[in-house]
Amino acid sequence: MPDPLLYTKAMGVAAFISMALVLAIFAWRRRLKMAELNSVCVVGIGFGLVAGYAVLALNLSWPPANALDRLLLIIVPATLVIELIAGFQRVPRAVAWLIRISLALVAPWILLHNSIYLNDSGDWTPWQVGLVIVVSAALLILVWGLFSVLSQRSGGVSLPIAVCIAVQCAGVAVMLAGYIKGGAAAIPLVATLLGTSIVVQGVARFFSGKIDVSLPQKVVVPGVVGVGLVGLFGLLFIGRFFGEISTLTAVTILAAPLLCWLSEARQLRNRKPWIIAAFRLIVVAIPLVVVLLAAKREFDREMSPLLGAAGRQDDQRATECNASHFLILGQLLAERRESSGASKSEGLAPFR
Amino acid sequence: MPRVFSLSAFSIVLSAVFCCGTDATAADEYDYDLVHSSVSFKARHLDISWIHGRFNDVAGKFVLDRDDPSKSTFALTIKTDSVDTANEARDKHLRQPDYFDTKQFPTIEFKSTSTKAIAGGYEVTGDFTMHGKTNKITMTLMGGKEHVFKDVKRVAFSTELSVKRSDYGFDKNAIGPIGDKALIMIDCEGVRK
């Protein structure tokens, strides 16, 4: 059952840890170049994620048993390491992108590992497997590449926020499609990305004179973008191939951050930064809201038979029944059940 | 000398054939008969009622050795995708990674490791694999009565076993209003090959 209180706690802890760590390193080093800032942010995100997932208690197992385990225990840590390496000044840009492309190519294969898609008994032929892996990897590389170009070209805190909105939307869509744990995995990711981006922006804007940090005001840390987009891709991939979200939903959410490119239109490019930021966030939010509304409608339609409303299924009200009420009711009943341990053991008597 | 050699070789071959023949008749190999068998389950809902369901796609094989029951073996493979609780929306939900994760773990399997004859059936110990986790379980198979119908030999067993979902890596947060324990009822009929 979704637990909003737990999610809020996980979000708070993940954001606090990542923000505190980045701020502490800022205060300690006092001299930071862009490459070092990237490393600091990547470390902050890493610690924030560990803390956030510890609070969520996602029951991850090692060796990884399912796709979510592989995303959180292999792919996200690998992305953090790659972004750490790519951030070093000595590493040529081409090499950094070669490593990123390699990760994008193996990520779908890692996520599908040992599933029916790659087993001999599975539904897919080797051709289909190859096609899905190549198309998925190409999509990730395309989104990652275009977004990185935009980050370097015009920057602005609205870019990582746009990625965060897309990641959160992916989490909610996966959850509404019935995979609660998969959707919850988005929460610490959003919190750490948002936390580090806000801290970096704050330092660049308000403390650049006080501490010796030479950052442009529109700085976008490549590590934040990398981890955000790989996390977004992973969640959507799992939701599509292991959960019940549709290909259209997944592709729409993955591509939504690219709508920030519209702010590069001649009429908008030279506007005030807050206008550009607001435009970007609105333009990214529009398709995401449409996708979420469709997901919510589907959720209500799918859940209504589970509400025990069999007698009034023809009733219009049954189809319009708010499924979130069902979740809250389930939560309350589960809590009540936990508090009355005695009645639980009596109820399970037939098993003993 | 060559004649003596060939005679003894012939007798060894003959005795080997007879030995194998005796074994083959003692141990009968049966296939799971999907038409006359069922694997069903029930789990508590909100701790006030039971939800019932079944798996429609099951396969299995068992070898019964009446003379030496310890040589008998039982194997069962259940396709998790075939879960059926008479509600399509709930079945779809149960196939998701929060529950059976059918794309990742397409089967539930049981393979016996030891068999012991008891009054009215067999006590079978084996590896039960569900949701990617394997635990050793012991189940009591009651029955074993044979029947020949239209020249086909049949044998049947029934058993019930209780499993805790949390023992098999199911997410505790997803257990929610559906109880942790589930009761699995297996009624299977085997047809001799």
Nearest to A243 among B97, B177, B179 (CB): B97
pLDDT for the residue A7: 92
**Residue B157 or residue A120, greater confidence:** B157
Tell me, yes or no, whether B122 lies in a domain.
yes
Domain boundaries, chain A: 4-206+217-263+271-304
Tell me, yes or no, whether B8 lies in a domain.
no
The count of structural domains within chain B is 1
Residues B128 and B184: their CA atoms lie apart, in Å, by 12
pLDDT for the residue A143: 95
Non-local CB neighbours of B43 within 8 Å, separated by 6+ positions: B50, B51, B178, B179, B181, B182, B183
| pLDDT band of A217, cuts 50, 70, 90 | low
pLDDT for the residue A316: 41
Give chain A's radius of gyration (CA, Å): 22
User: What is the arithmetic mean of pLDDT over A92-107?
Assistant: 92
pLDDT for the residue A351: 32
Residues A241 and A135: their CA atoms lie apart, in Å, by 14
Tell me, yes or no, whether B14 lies in a domain.
no
> Which tens digit of pLDDT belongs to each residue from B23-51?
445 688 999 988 889 999 998 888 788 88
**CA-based angle A62:A63:A68, to the nearest 5?**
75
pLDDT for the residue A223: 82
Element (H, E) at A26: helix A4-29
Q: Give Cα separations from A273 to A157, A194, A278, A280, B182 (angstroms).
A: 10, 19, 9, 11, 58
> Which tens digit of pLDDT belongs to each residue from A300-325?
887 766 655 444 444 444 444 444 44
User: What is the arithmetic mean of pLDDT over A106-114?
Assistant: 93
Record the tokens describing residue A286, joined without a space: 């529009």
Non-local CB neighbours of A174 within 8 Å, separated by 6+ positions: A182, A183, A186, A235, A236, A238, A239, A243, A245
A243 in Cβ contact with A295 (< 8 Å): no
Does residue A166 surpass a pLDDT of 80? yes
B63 in Cβ contact with B50 (< 8 Å): no
| ipTM summary value | 0.77
pLDDT for the residue B174: 63
Tell me, yes or no, whether B12 lies in a domain.
no
- Please give the residue of chain B at the shortest CA–CA distance from A57: B173
- Please give the residue of chain B at the shortest CA–CA distance from A58: B171
Q: What are φ and ψ of residue B149, in 5° steps?
A: -130, 120
Give one DSSP letter per residue of B110-174, joined into a string.
EEEEEEEEETTEEEEEEEEEETTEEEEEEEEEEEEEEEEETTEEEEEEEEEEEEEGGGGT--HHH
pLDDT for the residue A178: 85
Tell me, yes or no, whether B82 lies in a domain.
yes
Residues of B in contact with A242 (CB under 8 A): 96-97, 101, 103-104
Q: What is the mean pLDDT of chain A?
A: 82
Contact status of B44 with chain A (Cβ, < 8 Å):
yes
Instruction: Tell me whether residue A46 is exposed, middle or buried, using C-beta atoms within 10 angstroms of its C-beta: 0 to 12, 13 to 18, 19 or more.
Output: buried
CB spacing of A115 vs B104 below 8 angstroms: yes
- Structural domain range at position B134: 28-192
What percent of chain A is modeled with pLDDT above 70? Answer: 79
Those residues of chain B that have pLDDT short of 70 are 1-26, 173-176
What percent of chain A is modeled with pLDDT above 90? Answer: 46
We report the CATH number of the domain holding residue B177 as: 2.40.128.110
Tell me, yes or no, whether B21 lies in a domain.
no
